[in-house]
A and B are shown apart, each in its own frame.
Chain A
């Protein structure tokens, strides 16, 4: 019989899903922001599991049943968790598995943190950023050139 604390058992903390998506290797602490990106609120009806701070605070995992993500959602997840891995599950099997890819540019996804930026006005312009990866993810505003380095999730539109 396997011990409770063996890795195989720890992965079974949440049961396997029949159909849907498992988002693995989310940066520790970002799972709730992933739910925000996916538009999940207290009124949502999706069956989902959230595991946070597993493997000694190294990662979070989100499992959503009967839902596959659209490319825009995957791009947004990449912003806050650039090493996340998306597993698409059908009939209990992983039919597709891929790492999120940071887009080189985003538009209308994140608002500029600079309150005086022209994109934070009534002008008909959407915030646009180029994305750079150093130690973490950096967003460079293409208008005011302000750089967002942390708490990117706070600025998601």
Chain B
């Protein structure tokens, strides 16, 4: 993470310009610039490492410790779409650090139902809270919100767009449970519609990962995204058959294959069946293979796998807490 010194606007403006994009933006004329967390693509490897290091320091607190780092601070959570894990883990992260959370609640009962636009909601919330966590169904919503906000905006998912805190917790899990540098990882499932997969692959390429993209024909990663990843130095191999790679990888990252992506239900059944991870599938894998899943799962991993030494998806979910603690403390400190 870039070092933010009080009043050092020029340096930050320069930083922003050379990084081209948008995870840190500067409110001109302010003594203390505001940090927004909008997307993962603008983070350097060093910046990611610093966030993961901070998360490791804070992990004991996530396990039930007490801290007052965020005492007196208020976080607003604005979820325009349903979310369980992301919303609750932000809530827990803030409270474990001694801070308070105000929740917007379901949009049906809010000013949104009266027709208020996002820009106005953000402008108002900035007066109530010290930071805003936003999930919104439209791509680019977080970036726009950051332009209207007087406090840091953290993107908790915008449509099929970015979900940077998910990527960071995925990286933390891989670093903690396997190894980040030169990891061999198979990313399996819906690689077409899940742009978070692209963000993960992008971040992993900074760690010289060997990435296997495993997807049925209908759900392969679009060529433009693959090209973009290769241009950024990613090492990518594609296959439609999980069996091709399951024996060689260190990490098996499973994503949900959504039924509605298939016009023919029988086609869905066939694909879902061949991508299901069972105890049988894991017979010939590396001893230290880890299996990850962003959850919720819908049948992609048989519950019988949960007790195997390979399954880390529930830990992965837990790691969302220390990682979000790290992010909250960094943007509000």
Contacts and interface: CB of A to CB of B under 8 A. Distances in A.
B160 A142 contact: no
Contacts of B159: 116, 144
Nearest to A146: B139
Contacts of A124: 117, 119
A30 B41 CA distance: 35
Category for how many chain B residues contact A: 20 to 34
A87 interface: no
B224 A147 contact: yes
Contacts of A144: 138-140, 158-159, 161
Contacts of B141: 118
B96 interface: no
A21 interface: no
Contacts of B118: 118, 123
Q: Main SS of the interface on chain A?
A: loop
Interface in A142-157: 142-147, 149
A114 B158 CA distance: 13
A125 B119 contact: yes
B177 interface: no
B137 A116 contact: yes
Interface of A: 112, 114, 116-119, 121-125, 130, 141-147, 149
19 contacts: A116-B159, A117-B138, A118-B118, A118-B136, A118-B139, A118-B144, A121-B117, A122-B117, A124-B117, A125-B144, A141-B140, A142-B140, A142-B143, A143-B140, A144-B158, A145-B39, A145-B139, A146-B139, A147-B224
Given A143-B139, A143-B140, 6 more contacts: A116-B138, A119-B144, A123-B117, A125-B119, A130-B20, A144-B158
